Amino acid sequence: MSQSTPDSTFDVASLVEDVSLKRIGQYVLVILFIGFFLSPLQTGLMTAFKTNEAVARTIPLVPPSASGFTLGNLQFALNELSGAFFNSLFMAIPATIGSVLFGSMAAYGLTMVRWRGQTAVLMLFLVGIFLPYQAVLVPLARFWNNIFPLASMLAPAFGALPVLEPYHSNLVPLMITHIAYGIPICTILFRSYYQSLPGSLVEAAKIDGASLSKIYRRVLLPISKPMFGVVFIYQFTQIYNEFLFAFTLITGSDTPEAVVTLILPAVGASTSGVDFGIRMSASFLAAIPTLLIYVAFAEQFAKGLQTEGGA
């Protein structure tokens, strides 16, 4: 509806005019909900910088006092997570690129040309988004461990490469798994975009005698840059945040190839309970990549989510 006001314009005159009981009520509600959505984050962030004593004595929401402030938690957490950060990015970036590329290709073949049975094939992709991953976990573990032990086959090659350790080869099956299971959602995201493009665009190129792959490279790829942005942001967030596949394919949070989400539930825990200062520091460190992306590209992220629902 037209009622949305531009975000940046701000003038006092219209603000004063705006004051009515209903308006005030609306803003009170908006602010209450801001509190609702931000309080767990604020609580965590403040706790991340508090000494154990300050954590026990102060209200979680308020910033630490000078004597209760510490960077020790953060330092400890960074130490625990640094290797896992590398693992997560090493796995998530190629997995994102792979699934996004395959998704865009599939969507092209399923929207830009017409053939019989297309709807049925599309259904297969669509259902693939919603199926619970639990239904493939046992086979997945069997496949990568017993039937096709790719990780151990690759280990020597990885050891020969600079920077990489042999244990990084354990991340390759996880990477491939994410590519395969990411294809359905990426396809549907791209499909909704390609459908919104004018059909004449491709028709004209076809009449000029361009081959399908030429049309894809010369016409479609250049104009779908914004959609690549959306899908890339959405998919990277999903893969980086994912836990279940990592949990299935990488055994144990104490192994050197563990990704960030796998390590986090154990950081700061001891027999006496959870050290929340350390735990919250680790949580925010783990959240940094997706938080940065989200704050910079909130609109694209929202767009990805909207399309997922409308799939």
**Touching another protein, residues 159-198 (CB under 8 A):** 177, 179-181, 183-184, 187
Residue 56 contacts another protein per CB under 8 A: yes
Residue 89 contacts another protein per CB under 8 A: no
Q: What angle do CA 116, 120, 126 make, to 5 degrees?
A: 140
Residue 150 contacts another protein per CB under 8 A: no
Q: Is 255 left (phi over 0), alpha (psi -120 to 50) or beta?
A: beta
H/E stretch holding 269 reads: strand 269-270
State the minimum distance, in angstroms, from the CB of residue 26 to another protein.
6
CB 80 within 8 A of CB 264: no
Residue 38 contacts another protein per CB under 8 A: yes
Cα distance between residue 93 and residue 211, in whole Å: 31
Q: Which stretch binds another protein (CB under 8 A): 73-81, 149-157, 223-231, 301-309?
A: 301-309
Task: Please count the helices (runs of H) and the strands (runs of E) in the chain.
Answer: 16, 2
Residue 266 contacts another protein per CB under 8 A: yes
Three-state SS at 291: helix
Task: Write the DSSP assignment of 129-141 as a string of letters.
Answer: HHS-THHHHHHHH
Residue 224 contacts another protein per CB under 8 A: no
Q: According to CB under 8 A, which one of 33, 75, 82, 218 is a site residue for another protein?
A: 33
Q: According to CB under 8 A, which one of 91, 151, 202, 264 is a site residue for another protein?
A: 264
Residue 70 contacts another protein per CB under 8 A: no
State the minimum distance, in angstroms, from the CB of residue 240 to another protein.
7
State the minimum distance, in angstroms, from the CB of residue 164 to another protein.
25
**Which residue's CB is nearer to another protein, number 169 or number 300?**
300
Q: Which stretch binds another protein (CB under 8 A): 78-86, 155-163, 221-229, 295-303?
A: 295-303
Cα distance between residue 239 and residue 88, in whole Å: 9
Query: How many residues bind another protein, per CB under 8 A?
Result: 113
Q: According to CB under 8 A, which one of 13, 114, 196, 254 is a site residue for another protein?
A: 114
Cα distance between residue 144 and residue 151, in whole Å: 8
240 CB-near residues (< 8 Å, 6+ apart): 88, 89, 92, 260, 261, 289, 290
**Which residue's CB is nearer to another protein, number 115 or number 163?**
115
